[in-house]
């Protein structure tokens, strides 16, 4: 309430300046985020780990820095991918890669801490993840 009272004491000019200042902070934060997206070519350059499937490499709540390189994925890379029709991205290591003659990559992934590969997480009958499904590659 005190804050509101002091706000009402301000002149219109001061009020406008406060508002503009606030907008500037919000927009610069958004610009940094979007700028990072452009540089890393990834729709979300920083992600939070949600599960313990990659222990002891990543614990819950760890922040990961991602890029989406145009180069093909390498074996053993930790990729973030989305299974078609499911919204939650998954951070797991690439276990198998089969590259066809037209450079399409078929990948199988597995969490370091999981006993089996990810076919149980994919859609029913889906055997491979394609390069289009990959959202980013973990850099550190």
Partner 1 sequence: MYSLPQRANTLFAFFISVLFCVLGAVALSGPVLLLATHAGGRDAGVPVISVEKMAVKLGRRGHYYDYTQPMTELAFIHFNMVADLTPYWTWNTKQLFVYVVAEYATPTHPTNQIVIYDDIITSKDDANIDLRNQLSEYIASDMSHKLAGINATLSLHWNTMPHVGILMTDRKGSTPLVFPKPTK
Catalytic residue, chosen from 92, 98, 112, 117, is 92
By CB under 8 A, the residues from 2 to 41 that bind partner 1 are none
> Counting Cβ atoms within 10 Å, is residue 106 exposed (0-12), middle (13-18) or buried (19+)?
middle
Residue 93, both tokens:
């290591």
* Cα(130)–Cα(140) distance, integer angstroms: 23
By CB under 8 A, the residues from 83 to 122 that bind partner 1 are 93, 95-101, 106, 112, 117, 119-120
By CB under 8 A, the residues from 119 to 138 that bind partner 1 are 119-120, 124-125, 127-128, 138
User: Is 92 assigned a catalytic role?
Assistant: yes
* Cα(128)–Cα(18) distance, integer angstroms: 53
Least separation, in Å, of the C-beta of 20 and partner 1? 24
């Amino acid at each position: 309430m005190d804050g509101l009272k002091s706000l009402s004491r301000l002149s219109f000019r001061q009020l406008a300046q406060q508002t503009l200042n606030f907008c500037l902070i919000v927009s610069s934060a958004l610009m940094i985020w979007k700028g990072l997206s452009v540089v890393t070519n990834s729709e979300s350059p920083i992600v939070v780990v949600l599960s313990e499937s990659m222990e002891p490499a990543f614990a819950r709540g760890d922040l990961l820095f991602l890029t989406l390189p145009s180069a093909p994925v390498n074996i053993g890379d930790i990729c973030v991918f989305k299974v078609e029709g499911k919204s939650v991205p998954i951070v797991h290591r690439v276990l198998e890669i089969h590259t066809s003659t037209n450079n399409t990559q078929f990948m199988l992934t597995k969490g370091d801490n999981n006993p089996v590969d990810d076919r149980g997480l994919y859609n029913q009958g889906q055997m491979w993840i394609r390069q289009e499904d990959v959202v980013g590659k973990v850099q550190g």
